[in-house]
Structure 1
Amino acid sequence: MTAEPVSIAEGVVPRTFAVLEVLAQSSEPMRLSAVALRLGLQKSTAHRILAALIGLGFAQQSPETGCYSATLKLWELGANVITEHPIKRAASGFLQELQRATGETVSLVIRADDDVLYLDKMISPRPIRFTTRIGSRVPAPLTAGGKAILAHASDASAVLERTAVALGDRRRLDVAALTAELEQVRERGYAMAGYQPGVVGFAAPIMTRGPEAAAAISVSAPAERVDEAGRREIIEHLLSTCASMAERVGRL
């Protein structure tokens, strides 16, 4: 099925970034016609933008196929931004300690519009591990980390509504049930979620000076590996780690 064209703002700069984003998100090099169709652009416009991106070093064209792809220059810029992010710098030691204590995969997420963005991750050395890539985004209401952040967000209801519309029939969200769940998360201090079947996630927010969460730390594990005692132990380590990190971030 052909994807619907992406809605982009008028102007050269928004269109240029839209083309670069499409190339970066594609799992394989793209033909000029595919880029134009995806963004609802004329082929001539898409060609000019791609030529400019090649000149700037952000895109490349295969001499064999004529297809376009993003270069590593975009990754270099993103890597610099992530490395210098104050929350990521502060979190490294805490994530390592939590991963050693639980033996499971530990992630650091921040809010990015209606999604959560994975800033860092410590992978479990144990078999059957669950992982998302650093730099990937997931709709916030679907993840434990996202729920931990949204529980303290002033616009949480709006995020739930927009996400429900965006997901549509692919994954129906019960907005009323999620609203009640966020209230429970705020009261008990942690969230739970099963983003993928057979996987359980626990997360707690990093609360600093303001009323909203600066980030969240999550612990993900196969459900079959987490019994009631294991659940309590993970939550205890998680809450302790987030409290310590909040104190550290608050001093930055």
Structure 2
Amino acid sequence: MEEQKSTVRAVERALDILLCFTEATNLGLSEIASRLDLHKSTVHRLLATLEAKGFVIRNPQTEKYRLGYRVWELSANLTHPDDPAILVLPEMERLRDLVGETISLYVRDGLERVRIQAVQSNHPVRRVAPIGARMPLTVGASSKVLVAYADPEIQQEVLSEQNWPDNIDRQAFSQQLEQIRKQGYATSVEERELGTAALSAPIFNHNGKMVAALAISGPSNRLTAEKMTEYAIPMIEAATRMGNMVQ
């Protein structure tokens, strides 16, 4: 039993090492050990195994590690033709061409939202949206949409979050949820980042289940309150068409 526990612990630590690279491209042994609060010797052994299997690559000049090609091989099988992130991409591009801003697709994972698809704005100054980025459900238009249409238990869990952001009023956030359900979309201005704004609408499948949140984001001096009101209708229409495509 102890041997089994040790094996599981090693697997968890190896996965934690790989997850470190969601926040940085190149990391050294000491950096990884510090992030995970592990001994360097432990991290070194795990990195050696990951390197041997092709999941990380070590630069002999800098002694830093980066993700290996095995990760890309796995990611090639991540999406399928019937994957929502693939199915709705043409509609996202169509919406981007119409409004000129960055379009993102989010799903809820626990108490976080994850960007699973994005189409970047063509403007020189734009809101860059990396796929795979995780954000808390307490901040931003898409977060509010995902919470507003979630089960009451999820809503209560989010509203009871201990690490609530100082710049967001908890009671005001709660009151916004009902308004979002009435008008069909949410907005945010400089909630997560200074100088940015966003609006978001839910995507419902054939069964009426919310499967994702569609968002338009950009610089707040360009994505003004008037513009967000103007873009809300085409965004909701796009979300409706997307909902007809997914299960």
Query: What TM bracket, shorter-length normalisation?
Result: 0.7 to 0.9
Match of 2:119 in 1: 122
* Corresponding position: 1:180 with 2:175: yes
User: Tell me, what secondary structure is at the counterpart of 2:246?
Assistant: helix
* Corresponding position: 1:237 with 2:234: yes
One-letter code of the match for 2:41? S
Q: Deviations over 1:180-221 (max 9, x none)?
A: 111211121101112322322111011125565210111113
In the TM superposition, residue 13 of structure 1 has moved relative to its aligned partner by 1.2
Unaligned runs of 5+ in 1: 1-8
In the TM superposition, residue 229 of structure 1 has moved relative to its aligned partner by 4.7
Unaligned runs of 5+ in 2: 1-6
| Structure 1 segments of 4+ aligned residues over 3 angstroms from their partners | 82-85, 209-212, 226-229
1:228/1:70 Cα in 2 relative to 1: closer, same or farther (>3 Å)?
A: closer
8 A contact 1:109–1:145 mirrored in 2: yes
1:181/1:75 Cα in 2 relative to 1: closer, same or farther (>3 Å)?
A: farther
Stretch deviating more after TM superposition (45-54 or 75-84): 75-84
In the TM superposition, residue 11 of structure 1 has moved relative to its aligned partner by 1.3
Q: What percent identity do the matched residue pairs reach?
A: 28
TM (normalized to structure 1)? 0.83
Distance 1:241 1:51 in 2: 47
User: Tell me, what secondary structure is at the counterpart of 1:215?
Assistant: strand
Alignment partner of 1:104 out of 77, 85, 101: 101
Distance 2:89 2:121 in 1: 15
Q: Give the structure with the larger helix fraction.
A: 1
Q: Deviations over 1:157-181 (max 9, x none)?
A: 212433xx3366xx44422221111
Match of 2:217 in 1: 220
In the TM superposition, residue 24 of structure 1 has moved relative to its aligned partner by 4.5
1:223/1:175 Cα in 2 relative to 1: closer, same or farther (>3 Å)?
A: same
Alignment partner of 1:29 out of 1, 8, 27: 27
1:198/1:19 Cα in 2 relative to 1: closer, same or farther (>3 Å)?
A: closer
Distance 1:34 1:107 in 2: 31
Equivalent residues in 2 for 1:48-67 (5 A)? 48-67=45-64
8 A contact 1:116–1:140 mirrored in 2: yes
Match of 1:16 in 2: 14
User: Tell me, what secondary structure is at the counterpart of 1:109?
Assistant: strand
8 A contact 1:109–1:118 mirrored in 2: yes
Distance 2:21 2:102 in 1: 30
Distance 2:36 2:228 in 1: 45
TM (normalized to structure 2)? 0.85
Aligned-residue Cα RMSD (Å) equals 2.4
User: Tell me, what secondary structure is at the counterpart of 2:156?
Assistant: helix
